[in-house]
Each structure stands twice: as C-alpha cells, then as structure tokens.
Amino acid sequence: RERSDGMPNRQRLLVVANRLPVSAVRRGEDSWSLDISAGGLVSALLGVKEFEARWIGWAGVNVPDEIGQKTLTKELAEKRCIPVFLDEEVVHQYYNGYCNNILWPLFHYLGLPQEDRLATTRSFQSQFAAYKKANQMFADVVNEHYEEGDVVWCHDYHLMFLPKCLKEYNSKMKVGWFLHTPFPSSEIHRTLPSRSELLRAVLAADLVGFHTYDYARHFVSACTRILGLEGTPEGVEDQGKLTRVAAFPIGIDSDRFIQALEVPQVREHVKELKERFAGRKVMLGVDRLDMIKGIPQKILAFEKFLEENPYWRDKVVLLQIAVPTRTDVPEYQKLTSQVHEIVGRINGRFGTLTAVPIHHLDRSLDFHALCALYSVTDVALVTSLRDGMNLVSYEFVACQDSKRGVLILSEFAGAAQSLGAGAILVNPWNITEVAAAIGQALNMPAEEREKRHRHNFDHVTNHTSQQWAEFFVSELNDTVIEAQQRIRQ
C-alpha cells in the first residue's frame, strides 16, 4: 500500500540525539551489557507505527579499541541503535564544555559562564571547535547509514551544527531539527560568540521545531536581528530558500502511566504510601538536580508557608526527589550542598522527634515507584526557573484521575502554555507568591480541583508523545514536498 503522498509505506526515520536510548557497560573485551532507558522520546517513537525508527547517538562510554567498537556496534544493531564513538577529549570539550557549560545555561537565561572570563576566549574557541568536530562525527555516521527517502530527525542543543553537515553531504536529505530546551530571547542569544554560525547551521534544516510559539518567535527574531534575514509566518527566508519554523509541543505516553496504576505492585505501593503519610497532605517535587529546576527556591517557599501557617506544620509533608546529574561539575556539587543545607535547616526548625516536614532523596526512582508517588500526591510543585516543557507536570496529571490533586506550575516552564488554565501558575522567584499558592492548593475546594484537573487531564491524554512525533515527521515530509513544488514552479 502506497500512502497518498507517494511515500513508501514504512518510511525509515533516523533519530539522531547526543545519547542513544541505551547505556552500554563493558563486561569484557568483547562483551557488553546494554541498559535500555524508556525515556519520553523512546516511548514516543515506539508508539508510532507509521515509520521504522533507527537511533544514532553516543552510547555514553569511551571505546578506544577496534574490537570493542565492532562488538558493541553489533550488539546495538539488535536494538536498532547505531553508535557514534566519541573519545574522552571530545566528550570533555564538546559535551561537558560547549553543550553543558555554555549552551545549556545560556538557553535557560543563566548567561555565559562568569568565572575565568579572561580565559574564556581560548577555552570557548577550543570547545566550539570540538562541538563542530563532534557534530561532524554524528553526520558521518548518519551519512553512512542514510538511504534515499529516509527522514533524519536531529535532536536538541547538542546537535545544532548537524543540519548543515548533513546538507553538505546531500542537499536532498530530509532534515528536521527539534530543540528540547527553550530558545531564549534574541538579546540573550546575541551574547554567544558563535551566534551567527550556529543559527546558519540550524537554518540548513528543512524544518526547525520548538516546544512553544514563543521559542519559535525568539529564534526567528534572532535570525532577523543577527543575520538580517527575513522572518515570514512560515519561518525564515534566505535568498529564496525557506526554512520552516514551527511549534510542536511534546506530550507523554499517558496510557503508559494510567495503565501502570493498575499493576498490582503499584497498587500495593500506593497502599503503603497512604498508610505512611496518613493524616498528612503530600506535596511532591520530582526533578533532575539542576539549577534550572528552581529546587532551592521551591524549598524556601515551603519554609515560608510553614512559617506563616503553624496549623499546617504537622499536617503536610514535602517529598522532593532529585536525581543527581553532571555530578563532576563544581556548580552542580555546590547546588547539592546548598539544597542539603536548606533542607537540614527546615527539618531542624519544624521537625519533631517522629516526623520531618521535608523528605529529600538524592536519587532516581523506578517507573512504578514514581507512578505510585504521583498518584498519592495532593499538590505537585514544579518551580523551574526556565524549562523547555517539563514532563513531570504532565506525568503527575496523568496519574491523578482518582485523586484530582493540584499542580503548582512555574510560568517559565513551556508546560505553562498548555496546563496554565488548570494549574496555579507562579513566578518561582517570588517566594511569597509560591508560599501563598501552596496555601491556596492545600485549601482548594473539591469542585474547583475537579474542574482544573479535568482541563489538564484532557490536555495530557489528547496531546501524546506519539502524536507529537507523527506531527513533526509529517510536517517535515510536507515541507520538503512543498519546497520541491516551489522550485518546479
């Protein structure tokens, strides 16, 4: 069966992201154990039956020897994964350096690194060179596996240079690029020394996607102000060539969460949690321990709430689950100790011999434990200082169809645009406002909770990750067909 647009039935989709959805650990010279991570992107693409996805990315491990590279490639092939081998120096300069030390904070409005400002130029240049080199290495692997008719979908800030490298190999390759973080105001992007080169590299793609219209608008205005290109309602035009720019808000695989609540082990865990926290309202935060997530601000707001509301002191508990990331970076170590210090102070101040107001865990929870926690929660607190979308807010809503808990959500998370009408929106920097929102959430009448939850639940179950992926890929196919038609005219 041919599709109406003439595409073969199961189009191949090459998904290129910095990390493969598999982590490889070496067991011996030629033996590996592979750990699959069922993240959002993986389940999004598994659910899409229309195309056949292959993954291209770094396996998160340094494999300097040929035997190791060969055997790992073979094992990964069974999982439809194709590795890009990056050596330690490239990883250090490209991944830890340019991606995580420069682009990540800048795109979240935290600015460029302040320390060793005088040395920045040199380290900046070598990191940017490594970034381009790494992107070229990804392009080499994509090109090697590319077959005519394939769609290539590049992901995130790690691979902004990739569309350009791919088009240099083959101008007919269908290339889409999607950014999972915010794209900041053009005034922020202007401060980046490699601002123009990066924008031009992204513009080589046929389709460029963001979570929200605001991010897409920021990108188009950066192209106008920095490159002097014309922004149109469709995207950015450069000498007659149009790069389509649009918003594609991501979702979650909501059924996976809803169904998990029926699993006996989850039900059992829910029962235990209810017993453990009987008589207390449960508030929940689930974040990677990252400065953008606003964890210290959240805990300080909770402290203010307890300070002002003695009645609630022994009737509410905040569970903060924070997965450590980038633990070798000094700023992240500093953040960890800062959070520990605040939690310790508040527990010392408001705790009793038998109970403390904050349970803080520095670790990841498995999927079923997370679902159980989401479902017993009365109030979820998402206070990101900036966040591309924030899937935790979606996951919480998906698990709340019996409880109808309240979501307090930062107005600086992309999710505020979709769940804004159901959540209580807050400015996470304003601790007084967040403390008041906690009070409002804990005291909210059932009728209002029901109304807000209904709005959010409908959104989360009707805008799934599968629809997101399908929408992006079909837009990419259409964009290329339209461009070909324009050329023929």
**Residue ranges that bind ligand ADQ, judged by CB under 6 A:** 40, 180-181, 250, 286-288, 321, 323, 364-365, 370, 387-392, 395
Min separation Cβ 106 and ligand ADQ, Å: 14
**Residue 278 phi, psi dihedral angles, 5° rounding:** -55, 140
Min separation Cβ 447 and ligand ADQ, Å: 29
Min separation Cβ 200 and ligand ADQ, Å: 24
Min separation Cβ 23 and ligand ADQ, Å: 15
- Closest to ligand ADQ by CB, 53 vs 370, is 370
- Closest to ligand ADQ by CB, 195 vs 293, is 293
- Closest to ligand ADQ by CB, 75 vs 290, is 290
Adjacent-strand bridge partners of 53:
13
- Closest to ligand ADQ by CB, 94 vs 394, is 394
Min separation Cβ 363 and ligand ADQ, Å: 7
Min separation Cβ 443 and ligand ADQ, Å: 27
- Closest to ligand ADQ by CB, 167 vs 256, is 256
The C-alpha atoms of residue 84 and residue 233 are separated, in whole angstroms, by 36
Min separation Cβ 484 and ligand ADQ, Å: 30
Residues written for the chain: 489
- Closest to ligand ADQ by CB, 316 vs 319, is 319
Contact 387, 412 (CB under 8 A): yes
- Closest to ligand ADQ by CB, 303 vs 387, is 387
Min separation Cβ 316 and ligand ADQ, Å: 20
- Nearest CA to 227 among 217, 212, 237? 237
- Closest to ligand ADQ by CB, 165 vs 322, is 322
